[in-house]
A and B are shown apart, each in its own frame.
Chain A
């Protein structure tokens, strides 16, 4: 019984993801969007660091 529940639920989960992917094309771009948002944030953060570094004179010191 436990095995049936485990396998059944896992298959239902996989099926739900697959159906969503197949039947909701607009969902594909939506579900992929966070990786681009994240990438933009990382770039923005690193650019902010570069700007701050440039403003303060930049190079590593031996302090």
Chain B
């Protein structure tokens, strides 16, 4: 490739590096988009990639976001810097050789190994920081090399002559280097809530100190270069620059509003977010005024991308400032609203700026291929795609927020989201097609056609007269400006340090004190197997669907239980708090489900939860759920640690902690929660169920059955659902049982303790009544042979001798041994349920696997067995 830009007047532009990074960027974007598409398809085709762990949802999700930020935007920004820095500074970059090293490290020591390692299961479960530590080290090296490559050019002339894009580039390279370790390294050493506080800093700094400044550098560069007119106000641009760099680092904690992180840090971050919104309005106003005269639809496609990026920046920033506010955050956090926000930031604002910048540079590389038609197509597809995706995910988020706030069953929010997820994938296809079109546009077509396209668009600036507009600065004023920039630069560093201190270091101290005050003596830790399970949980991205933090909100307390305290997260290195709830929060998962249920759920999730969209983890099993590998055992063991320490110490430890911090209203909110574990499916002892009224039953009983029960009990209630073969005790064959409404009311409210039959307390009384009706309708129990008086007398005698100790003298399941059974499944209450005669004989002869009911054929004769079955059937008294 020739470099036609080499001439006596212009600084040397490393066009080969522009092209190399540019093509790498667009190839990476296309790959990252494919990762994203597969991930999005798995929301409604959860078995799409089978049980392949490398192609599992979590690993692909890690690869998608790191691909967009590091592989795509990182390369795109570097490409643009090679074009822009010589023009901004009037100087060449430091070294072409250094550029080759930087290209090599960025792509072959960061992007490729990062993707390979993440897909191989070596990663960090940290948002925007998923590449593992060794890769992070190379990112730091690359950032240092980038600083050496690009920054010296700016400092060879006075600070007072630096254009705003130069400031953004300097700021981005310096502050990204400083902030990158906050989210990528610190949480690997600082546990739990404190680690999350540091992680939150990076979640925002990644966007605010890396992506946004470099995208804005492109906007401030391309707009005047394309329109041929200077920006509206350099003063406003500098006000915006310093405002953004002061305020962005102070936003981080707004990702953990209503968490245990000190409220002062949360409110401070919220205030900074609101102020940031004001600054962004100033920035965007200045950019839009700079676009005046370019028209609503500029003919230069590069300018069009950049103009739309400006609009997206306004929308996403105002939205961000809004959603940081507590009232909105309470509702929409963890929903797809936030996912829509982040997509608009990264694939709308930043990517449109990135593509616009690349096209702008390409138009000025005579040796570069340029396909104008493909780029027009790219603009259309990308615009349609991102607008549709943003609107769709915003609506999805509002839908989820409403359902969660109303206490609807969790899976209803999953079911109602499906239409939005289908639309999201469709919009993603448009976006991905747009990315491929952009790649096509910059790799096909005639060489040098970019300049012609620019001329024909009428966007080429006049080059007829190059005369300085201003007289040279007076020495005094120039010195004052220089000093003010130096002062502001120092202040920027101070503000960054302040953000780390106020939102990272100080909260860590407060949380440590809080943990010391509130933790029980010697809380139970986790063992080696559980730690191994935690690593599996982390590498598979479980925390990206299931949060592990119950927030200090009424909705969270009602659905999940007492909010998470600081000491409960003390072993979480790195933390697994998560930022999205596709599945329910798991902070109190311990003791909520049976081990059996977990194995089936991991192996074939829809067998126990037909509406679930969880991926299958069959790869952790040796062919079936009853043959878990050590990895599956470890994973389930880890899940059973979530919330365990506090549950074991409860309620005494909570009472002591409450007394220790009487004036902490947030802590008191945790201790005043009605229940420690409010999971609506958690089984509990019989009793206390609100009465059901069959007259008020919902009409969709059959649908409810299909959605929630069919996996275990089967379509006709015979206990032959797809999960049944792996559950112990097996699901009840409802066709051979007759129940009282009270018994069903109790089972639906409390579940059946010790079995995989969960409670359904999150369903309305109308729904539970409808399900009870369905169950009653399954019964095929017939009167059976009529027993003689002698048989009943024999049966009563046998019962008194052998059965009453468990089932109670009156058959109510309340015998003296009922509470001390080796397998803690409550004995049957014969007064509220009656088994078919033949089935009853089978139970006595064979026992019930998975319960304490043993076979009796070695101790009872056939006549005795038949007699006792007749007797227990006679105990059934309907609803009387």
Q: A residues touching B (Cβ–Cβ < 8 Å)?
A: 1-3, 5-7, 9-10, 13-14, 17, 20-21, 24, 26-53, 56, 59-63
Contacts and interface: CB of A to CB of B under 8 A. Distances in A.
B235 A53 contact: no
Contact of A61 (B6, B448, B473, B474): B448
B309 to A, nearest CB: 19
Contacts of A51: 7
Given A2-B265, A28-B235, A46-B461, A39 B224 contact: yes
A1 B264 contact: yes
A10 B275 contact: yes
Contact of A34 (B162, B247, B370): B162
A17 B164 CA distance: 15
6 contacts: A9-B498, A14-B239, A24-B480, A28-B235, A33-B161, A43-B465
B5 A45 contact: yes
Contacts, number: 172
B483 to A, nearest CB: 11
A35 B465 CA distance: 16
Contact of B481 (A7, A31, A38, A59): A31
B793 interface: no
Choose among A5, A37, A56 the residue with the greatest number of B CB atoms under 10 Å from its CB: A37
B522 interface: no
Given A33-B161, A47-B463, A13 B242 contact: yes
Interface of B: 4-7, 9-10, 87-88, 90, 160-166, 224-225, 228-231, 233-235, 237-239, 242-243, 246-247, 250, 264-265, 267-268, 271-272, 275, 364, 366, 370, 446-449, 451-452, 460-463, 465-470, 473-474, 477-478, 480-481, 484, 491, 495, 498, 502-503
B268 A6 contact: yes
Contacts of A6: 247, 250, 268, 271-272, 275
Contact of B470 (A1, A27, A29, A61): A29
A40 B468 contact: yes
Given A37-B161, A52-B5, A60-B449, A3 B481 contact: no
A43 B584 CA distance: 58
Given A5-B502, A9-B495, A39-B224, A50 B267 contact: no
Given A45-B364, A47-B466, A49-B451, A32 B234 contact: yes
A49 B275 contact: no
A1 B846 CA distance: 70
A7 B271 contact: yes
B484 A38 contact: no
B7 A27 contact: no
Contact of A31 (B6, B10, B225, B235): B235
Given A30-B481, A45-B364, A60-B447, A39 B264 contact: no
B363 to A, nearest CB: 10
B467 A60 contact: no
Contacts of B271: 3, 6-7
Contacts of A24: 477, 480
A27 B480 contact: yes
